[in-house]
Amino acid sequence: MTNRPWYERYQPVSYKLITRSGTEQQFKDMVKRCNAKGVRIYVDAVFNHMTRMGSIGKGSGGSYFDTDNFYFPGVPFGATDFNDESSCPTLDGRIHDYQNAVEIRNCQLEGLVDLKLGKDYVRSKVADYLNHLIDLGVAGFRVDAAKHMWPRDIAAILEKVKNVSMGGRPFVYQEVIDTGGEAVQGSEYLSTGRIANFKYGLELAQVFRRQNALKWLKNFGADWGMWSSGDVVNFIDNHDNQRGHGCAGSVLTHWEPKPYKLATAFMLAWPYGIVRIMSSYEYNREDNSEGPPHNSDESIKSVTINGMVCGNGWSCEHRWRQIYNMVAFRNMAGDAEVTNWWKGTDYQIAFSRGDKAFIAFNLEIVDINQSLMTGLPAGQYCDVISGNLESGSCTGASVTVDGSGRANIHVCSHCEDPMLAIHIACGY
Ligand code: ARE
Ligand code: CA
């Protein structure tokens, strides 16, 4: 057990921006440098609750707190700013029954003291925090534990929030774990932003573990009982379910690189929703509370970078070629539709994104060796899964597309990455 678990960040005691990752000034500087390169920053904002019952002390930014007296002078919040026995129906003040929407919204999630977001004062303090982040240059928010807040309270807070510095409303996506069967549904939150789609990673884990045929992905999206494309943020795994927290289920993670890369590539190739890729660290799997790589004084170790590989225990999935090249694939494909859908056996598929990009997947024990319609203009292209286009030639496999858009496609079967992807920016 580490002294400082990763999840201490989900136990705020003030809205000061001082953590083991740095100071407010350092955060501001990072956001500025990212924005200058076209990289937007979205903050994981925790405002359903403060820290846990029965705790007293000082936060990472030095603010004093005393939860038994609901005393958070760093904001300040006091006793009347929290839900209590008048609003929460359970005896111990905690959430037990996920079939009861009042309990889910007004009681304590895991014993974390629950803010009374119906109060204008509390809404204003939260809005001040979000507006401050916007002043620092962020483009939007992940709303933590949105399921535990009334949609009207989220709406009232967002009404107090200003436009972002790049123009327009902040991009908002809400963490509402809805895989069915509970009193609170994701669809209740669609007027305040997108929702995190927890069904997505569970479905793709089954497919890429060969428990559900690849060919069924032909209509992956709303037809699978998920929300519409404009309402979701999709992901293969997140910081909770990759380590058995939250709605864990059986998702793919960086610990299973082969199916993980395949599923992530499919996510990036497929035009449904906004997608998010993960970047993790190599924690001890026996201890799902273990914080990021740290020194003996608990300070966080830097991410060292050697070529495209990270060191010091950071796994940096976003630097894996099969993943970062598929981000380029998605950008190149733009809003082109899926065309040239092809299926071989149940576990062999290929498709194009108009005349912009083409991808093939093979989960069979035999290779794909086939002339297929790619839809791309005639030319030579580098497979971006097995290599890159470097100084005019491919470091991995190459594909020759003829004047009709067809090409001989070979996708290995007994190999680490049984997929092939080409797009218009990898032609030569
Ligand atoms: C920690 C300890 C607890 C302890 C608590 C207070 O683990 O044992 O009681 O501290 O002392 C994260 C960690 C938690 C951690 C918490 C505070 O995951 O383990 O608690 O930080 O430090 C529900 C919520 C969902 C939430 C998940 C984890 O609906 O919003 O639980 N996810 C977000 C974040 C988490 C974070 C929090 C919220 C809290 O992504 O990282 O918690 O800010 C069903 C339901 C789900 C439910 C799930 C688990 O699937 O459908 O709604 O998710 O069960 O209960
Ligand atoms: Ca609540």
Q: Does 175 qualify as catalytic in the annotation?
A: yes
Per-residue pLDDT of the chain (428 residues; tens, 9 = 90+): 458 999 999 999 999 999 999 999 999 999 999 999 999 999 999 999 999 999 999 999 999 999 999 999 999 999 999 999 999 999 999 999 999 999 999 999 999 999 999 999 999 999 999 999 999 999 999 999 999 999 999 999 999 999 999 999 999 999 999 999 999 999 999 999 999 999 999 999 999 999 999 999 999 999 999 999 999 999 999 999 999 886 667 899 999 999 999 999 999 999 999 999 999 999 998 899 999 999 999 999 999 999 889 999 999 999 999 999 999 999 999 999 999 999 999 999 999 999 999 999 999 999 999 999 999 999 999 999 999 999 999 999 999 999 999 999 999 999 999 999 999 999 99
Going by alpha carbons, the residue nearest to atom 20 of ligand 1 is 110
Contact in structure between 43 and 21 (CB atoms under 8 Å): no
Nearest to 193 by CA among 336, 45, 334, 331: 45
| Residue 135 to residue 415: CA distance in whole angstroms | 49
Q: What is the Cα–Cα distance from 420 to 369, expressed in whole angstroms? A: 12
Given ligand 1 and candidates 245, 280, 289, which is best to mutate, with the most ligand atoms within 8 Å of its CB? 245
Give nearest CA residue, ligand 1 atom 4: 110
Token pair for 288 = 């799902």
Closest CA to 44 of 72, 76, 78, 7: 7
Q: CA 214, 238, 247, 4 torsion: positive or negative?
A: positive
pLDDT in the model for residue 1: 45
Point out the ligand 1 atom lying closest to the alpha carbon of residue 178: 51
Spell out the residues 6+ positions from residue 332 whose beta carbon is closer than 8 angstroms to its own. Answer: 356, 357, 423, 424, 425
> What value, to the nearest 5°, has the Cα angle with vertex 204 and ends 201 and 205?
80
- Which ligand places an atom closest to the C-alpha of 107? 2
pLDDT of 107? 98
115 - beta bridge partners? 82
- Which residues have a Cβ under 8 Å from the Cβ of 40 and sit 6 or more positions away? 34, 138, 139, 140, 166, 171
* Probe residue for ligand 1, chosen from 2, 3, 10 as the CB with the greatest number of ligand atoms within 8 Å: 10
Q: Whose CA is nearest to atom 28 of ligand 1?
A: 246
Which atom of ligand 1 is least distant from the CA of 8? 22
| Predicted complex ipTM | 0.98
Q: Tell me, in angstroms, the distance from the centre of ligand 2 to residue 105's CA.
A: 4
Q: Is 286 a catalytic residue?
A: no
Q: Pick the residue whose CA is nearest to atom 15 on ligand 1.
A: 7
- The C-alpha atoms of residue 139 and residue 123 are separated, in whole angstroms, by 20
